[in-house]
Structure 1
Amino acid sequence: KIYEAMDTLGLELIGLQLSIPKIGETYKRMFPGDPNMTNFHNWHEFEKIYPDSFSSMYQFWCRRSG
């Protein structure tokens, strides 16, 4: 849902900060081609495997696309 809202607003993800560092470490092992962790499709796949991964707080940064 976040991706859809950002797409509607013309925004792109440029960074993500997780309150539990282990989540980022696991993500990077699963998706080594996305070291900045900015691919929403990957995060969706990650969340399907680890559904509780976003039960804690997180922050993300975005900017206008283009």
Structure 2
Amino acid sequence: MHLRRGGIEQACATWHRAIDHMDGVYSVRPRKAVRRMRGDLARFRARGLRCAAELDERARDFLVGG
């Protein structure tokens, strides 16, 4: 929702909190959500937004760990 409204910083903060809560969860649904989020962030990463790049790195680590 934050991302659709143009709040990239807030979206990143919300996703960081979500990943905190997903630690140790290995089900399909959270992993799909994280993959979708990475796709949604692609345009912001391409523009060099630091919060998007940091979140993407964390999401990638989350997906590799599970």
Q: Normalising to structure 2: TM-score of the pair?
A: 0.27
**Structure with greater Cα Rg:** 1
Say which structure is richer in strand: 1
TM-score, with length taken from structure 1: 0.27
The higher relative CO (CA closer than 8 Å, separation ≥ 6) is in: 1
Identify, as 1 or 2, the structure richer in helix: 2
